[in-house]
Amino acid sequence: MGWFTRKPKAPAPGDAPDEPSEQPAPAQGAQGARSPLPGASPLRPHPPPPGLTEGGSLAPIVARWDAAIADIERRWDATLEQAVAASDRMLASGQGDMEPLTRSWGPVEHQMHQLTDEVSERWDQISDLLSEECAGEEVMQREGGKLDLASCELEIRYQRAFRATMARAAELMRERALASADPASAMRVFAASGALFIGQRAAQASWEAMRRAETRINNYRDKRAVPLALLEELESTARGHWTTLFTTEAELVPELQRYVAAKIESSMKSVEKTLRQFWQWREAKK
């Protein structure tokens, strides 16, 4: 296995990363720094290192790695399409109860973990090949970062499909509750087990942005080098996520309205705890 081995799964906001030094980030180009290099762009934060350009000895290995990730993502999309179709059939037949529908997605989540392991195994193979070609640290860091980004993408696509499905079931639950002989009682059941799914679907885009920001932050080996703008992105997307989720939920269950602000701030505490681990965040917030 190459020196760049698989890193642990990116922690959720609130999981304290390694305690950083109180020193500022190394200058551009210093050992361990991952500051943007000349020729960088938002979509490509570093220009291709020597050997990755067309005709370079490493280019075929990198292409093989990219193709492996793309193949896994294609297979995962097909699996999710099948899972959504099966759930739609359950909903169409009137089997819209939350518990059995949730259970039906258990095997799908298991497949996600298997594919995540497959991505890791593919990286082990690719890192060995890159090491044999004497790939430098910049190449290994860049290509190894795709491991966590791909794993994050698998999770995002799963949650996107799962939450959309559960939200459709929740909408059917709400319709039945309002039309029932005892709507007040039925709506209490909806408030307890259905409204949250609709809120999660509404907040999905901001949740995805938050997860991607977390993953990019955790791809930095030297936490002193994490750009302040990326930390600010995590804070803003997290706040947007919790605000949309709890606001949408309260629109469906009005008695929750008075708790929205407190729930947002409570959820943000874990994000703020994570951000305070970074010296650059603390300096900016003085």
Numbered ranges of CATH 1.10.132 in the chain? 57-169
CB atoms within 10 A of CB 280: 19
Output the six-digit token pair for 83.
């899972």
CB atoms within 10 A of CB 8: 8
Contacts 24+ apart (CB under 8 A), 103-106: 105/162, 105/165
User: Under a CB-based contact definition with an 8 Å cutoff, are residues 277 and 13 in contact?
Assistant: no
57-169 architecture in CATH? Orthogonal Bundle (1.10)
Q: Which residue is listed with tokens 């690719």?
A: 126
pTM, full prediction: 0.79
pLDDT in tens, the chain (286 residues): 333 444 444 444 444 444 444 444 443 333 333 333 333 334 444 455 555 543 468 999 999 999 999 999 999 999 999 999 999 999 988 765 788 999 999 999 999 999 999 999 999 999 999 999 998 989 999 999 999 999 999 999 999 999 999 999 999 999 888 888 888 888 888 888 899 999 999 999 999 999 999 999 999 989 999 999 999 999 999 999 999 999 999 999 999 999 999 999 999 999 999 999 999 999 999 8
